[in-house]
Amino acid sequence: MIITVTLNAALDRSLSVPAFKLGHRHRSSDVLVLAGGKGINVARALKLFDVPVVATGLAGGRTGTWIVEELTEESILNDFVRIRDESRTSTAVVDPTGGTYTEINEWGPKVSGDEIEFLLHKLRYLSQGASTVVLAGSLPRGVDESFYADAVREMTRLGARVVLDSEGEPLRRGIEAEPWLVSPNQREAEQLVGQEFEDDDDFVMALDTIAEMGARNVHITMETGCFALVREERQVRRYHARAPQLEPVSVLGAGDVLLAGWLAARGEGASVEESLCLAVAAGSASVLRVGAGRFDPAEATRLASLVEVNELQPVAGS
């Protein structure tokens, strides 16, 4: 069983707008409304992989009610803490002709200390039957930046492998709590290490730096694939998994699907190389569809054979 935790759950609206231009009036050719937030996206993808998963987090107001109802409609097991303030709505404008997307994300609700404590109590209960806990996404207002660090330590103490996917100071503090895996995208990783990445050596240096900060395993995701540092059998190995070239419809949530693919493959006992192939292939398959966390598993299986995985060596002197 995998538990996904989304503190800043959202109602995600994806609008398909051909030839989208700023400052012009448009009519959307299609509208897709889903429950969203990074942890929910991971749960949706895990469900497509037939991995047992429970989605939890915070949900408030009518929007929160809709989020829970939508997850139930998708047959995704869920157990959210209801909060007083209204959950956020996020909007993505997808231009299928230009291959672009524009995100507009609200800040989200303000959360009280009692509501956070109730969530931690629920996590302690749920994690007793879980192999892995995924903490993902931004923190809503009122939640201390140390929340993820505290949760990582608590869930690890209870015996779960903890995955962290966030950004900024909450991510930095969370890494110091030594999670089993962190999965930032390139921009988030650049912020962590304080420099932009230009070549493979820069990515390898970043993998090692983030691991030295406390993470046991590290993924750095991007539209073209993934760099990974994996600890296995007392060895540390570094990889670059390159995705096949595709014409994306929407890249929103591709990193969440990649993470789900990795967890699904590792849970089935696949090798590191096989797991990276499936993970990157699933992320690639997801860019062919509008809606975060959605992909065709058969397409992911087909694309897995096209993913190129190379082992990388440490940077000399690092």
Structure tokens that stand for 287 in this block: 């860019």
Three-class DSSP category at 159: coil
Q: Residue 106: which pLDDT band, with cuts at 50, 70 and 90?
A: confident
- 280 pairs with which residues across the strands? none
pTM of the shown model: 0.93
* pLDDT higher than threshold 90 for residue 237: yes
Interatomic CA distance for residues 210 and 216, integer angstroms:
9
Separation of alpha carbons 178 and 89, rounded Å: 32
Give the model's pLDDT for residue 8. Answer: 95
pLDDT of residue 94: 81
Residues with Cβ < 8 Å from 299, sequence gap 6 or more?
A: 285, 288
Q: Determine contact, residues 10/37, Cβ cutoff 8 Å.
A: yes
- As a whole number, mean pLDDT of residues 239-248 equals 93
Domains, the chain, with CATH or none: 2-20+28-312 (3.40.1190.20)
Which are the contacts of 157, defined by CB distance < 8 A and separation ≥ 6? none
User: Is the per-residue pLDDT at 317 higher than 70?
Assistant: no
**The pLDDT of residue 118 is above 70:** yes
d(CA 111, CA 62): 16
**What is the pLDDT of the chain when averaged over all its residues?**
93
Catalogue the active-site residues.
Answer: 256
Paired tokens of 136: 């993902």
Residue 3: which pLDDT band, with cuts at 50, 70 and 90? very high
Residue 76 has pLDDT above 80, yes or no: yes
Q: Give 146's pLDDT tier (boundaries 50, 70, 90).
A: very high
The helix, strand and coil proportions of the chain, stated in percent and rounded to the nearest 5, come to 35, 30, 35
pLDDT, mean of residues 1-14: 95
Q: Quickly state the pLDDT bin for 318 (edges 50, 70, 90).
A: low
pLDDT level of residue 223 (50, 70, 90 thresholds): confident
Beta strands in the chain (DSSP E): 2-6, 10-16, 30-36, 53-60, 77-78, 81-83, 88-95, 100-105, 132-136, 161-165, 181-182, 217-222, 225-232, 235-242, 308-312
Contact 10, 36 (CB under 8 A): yes
Dump pLDDT digits (tens) for 148-169: 999 999 999 999 999 999 999 9
- pLDDT tens-place string over residues 13-51: 988 888 888 888 888 888 889 999 999 999 999 999 999
Please enumerate in sequence order all residues whose Cβ is within 8 A of that of 230, keeping only pairs 6 or more positions apart, or say none. Answer: 217, 236, 237, 238, 239, 272
Beta strand pairing call for 100-105 and 81-83: unpaired
Q: Amino acid identity, residue 250?
A: S
